[in-house]
Structure 1
Amino acid sequence: MRVLKTLSIALLFLVFSNCGSTKSINPLNLLTGNSWALSSLMGDGLDMNQFVGGIPTLSFLDGGKLAGFSGCNNFSGNFSLEGTGIQLDPGAITKKMCPGSGEQVFMANLNKVGELKVGKDKLTLLDGANELMSFVPMKD
């Protein structure tokens, strides 16, 4: 009986300690705490010949605002987050002419995003189970 009581107390301790730590991992805090640089596209490394203007970036801002760089043009729009689901609306984009097809591929995939996985060191944007792109935090 004593062993059962000890196990019950230990189990309750684990449940409550895990609940507290889970609450502190808020995807929104991880997203908005960083600016993100593209590290892979469609599961492959980046072909910098397709992004001659620089590496694409994303910044998730307060109030559901989204800002970024497509590798050629800047954009600003909105995002909405619900659990592991995310919707991205790049909104307005500048219209510079750019060599390569990287910008078109990046923007097309940005519009397909429906889910995310986010940690301190990596952001992965998905369409169902398919990885569309991954990002790493930008260094200041």
Structure 2
Amino acid sequence: MPRTAATAPRALVALGLGAGLALAFSACASPARGPGDGGSGSPAELDGTWTLVSASDADGDYLPDAALVPGPVTLEIDGDEARGQAPCNGYAGELRVTGDRIDIGPLTSTEIGCDGGELEVRYLAALDAVDRVEADASGLALDGEGISLRYERGAAPPDDGAGSGTPPGAAELDGTSWALRAILASSGDATDGTSSSTTVEGRPRLVLDAGGRASGSAGCREFSGTWSIDDDVLAIADLEAQAADCPAAFVTQEETMLGALRQGAEVTLGDERMTLAAEMGAGTRIQFAFARE
């Protein structure tokens, strides 16, 4: 059933969304917005990934605290589509721009809970209500009545700098369970590279038993194997994934996650969080941001 925010004029429903993956809706469609009086699509300067750096509404400032949410809040604009990562869930919707006027929605989102759930309701309601836009090479401003959202261009790493935590030993991972919250792909170097965030499909998780057994789900298929950590690299040997007829939207996510676990990924621990980072070939680095269950 749809989740409805009291402050939002339209309902938010379950959605599976991944960058480069097909959209897969898992709940009834939200009410369609009537046709606007302006054009469709977005000017080229709006296209790309934007990371939220400040947010306010009638109740005050509410930029999600890194301690409450699993990763950065993003907005990705691609023509007449808007999508991104809210404090807890991925979201998507239509986008229309005419001059300095913008209309986003109706919005749909996944339904994974986290401590930032209240902030998510406010953020998605704000996106739904903004009606003015201004952008330059480095910043994006969205405004509405009592609403201000400010973004900087580019995708921040999951966990607002995940990967700078503490390299763990086996004892720190024994008997732990983790839920995948965000995926970040980057290529090139810091001055001439690209990055994009991917909304997590399904409910991927990783369980590391004290006896060395690993199990979990890549979103659709369950898997198991034997885990070990060596020089801060976590790997799962003899990894086997069950056979299943998975939706197309899950395929790339599953292959990437299972491939990283098989080859080994650099692991760091933060406050109730874990990041796995792996080089996946062709100059691409993938980061998986997990939250402790």
User: TM-score, normalization: structure 2?
Assistant: 0.35
Flag as ranges the 4+ runs of structure 1 deviating above 3 A. Answer: none
Paired residues in the alignment total 111
Which has the higher relative contact order, 1 or 2, with Cα contacts under 8 A spaced 6 or more apart? 1
The corresponding residue for 2:131 is: 114
Percent identical: 24
How many angstroms does 1:46 deviate by?
Answer: 2.6
Q: Give the 3-state SS of the residue equivalent to 1:48 in structure 2.
A: coil
1:82 aligns with 2:98: yes
Higher mean C-alpha deviation, range 92-101 or range 114-123: 92-101
1:31 aligns with 2:52: no
Are the aligned partners of 1:51 and 1:102 in contact in 2 as well (CA < 8 Å)? no
Structure with greater strand share of residues:
2
Q: How does 1:1-140 map to 2 (within 5 A)?
A: 28-32=43-47, 34-42=48-56, 44=61, 46-48=63-65, 51-62=68-79, 64-100=80-116, 101-127=118-144, 130-139=146-155, 140=195
Q: Give the 3-state SS of the residue equivalent to 1:55 in structure 2.
A: coil
Are the aligned partners of 2:107 and 2:128 in contact in 1 as well (CA < 8 Å)? no
Q: Give the 3-state SS of the residue equivalent to 2:69 in structure 1.
A: coil
Are the aligned partners of 2:54 and 2:151 in contact in 1 as well (CA < 8 Å)? yes
Higher mean C-alpha deviation, range 73-82 or range 48-57: 48-57
Distance 1:90 1:69 in 2: 16
Structure with greater helix share of residues:
1
Amino acid at match of 1:84: D
Amino acid at match of 1:103: E
Distance 1:44 1:125 in 2: 15
How many angstroms does 1:102 deviate by?
Answer: 1.6
User: TM-score, normalization: structure 1?
Assistant: 0.70
Amino acid at match of 1:117: E
